[in-house]
Each structure stands twice: as C-alpha cells, then as structure tokens.
Structure 1
Amino acid sequence: MKIVNSLKTLKTRHRDCRVIRRRGRVYVINKTQPRYKARQG
C-alpha cells in the first residue's frame, strides 16, 4: 500500500479505483488491480 498526498491522481489511473473513507482516513481500493491500493496522509 502506498501513502500519497493526492488520491485524485491515483483514482484516474484505473477505472475500478474507488475512494473510501474509513476511520477518518481516505483510501483508494481496487479489487481487480491491488497494486493501486493507497492511503492518504
């Protein structure tokens, strides 16, 4: 899992990326390509 400042750029790289808020943190998850997993901050 990568930790990045901007999740918006990661979201546009693949069409299956979803932005999800969990426990006050923002995550990008992708079921088909797990290498796009990321957390903000």
Structure 2
Amino acid sequence: PIEIPCHRVICTSGKIGGYSGKSNSTVKIKLLKQEGYLK
C-alpha cells in the first residue's frame, strides 16, 4: 500500500481541512508550506 502522511490529505473541494483531529489547521499549513506544497 502507498503511505501518505496525514497532513498531506486535502479535501476534494481544495480546502485544507483539519489536522490531528482538530479543526485548527495552522500546523498543517505550516508543514505544507515547508514541503513546498503551499506558497
């Protein structure tokens, strides 16, 4: 199976969605920016 880190999962609508069971996605956005997925 292919493993995808949970912070890389994005809603089909294109919204960021939650992270680590929380609706606050500040950490998720920070991780995605560090990895170059967001600007």
Same fold, TM exceeding 0.5?
Answer: no
- Larger RCO (alpha carbons 8 Å, 6+ apart): 1
Class of the TM-score when normalised by the shorter of the 2 chains: under 0.3
- Tell me which protein shows more strand as a share of its residues: 1
- Tell me which protein shows more helix as a share of its residues: 2
TM-score normalised to the size of structure 1?
A: 0.19
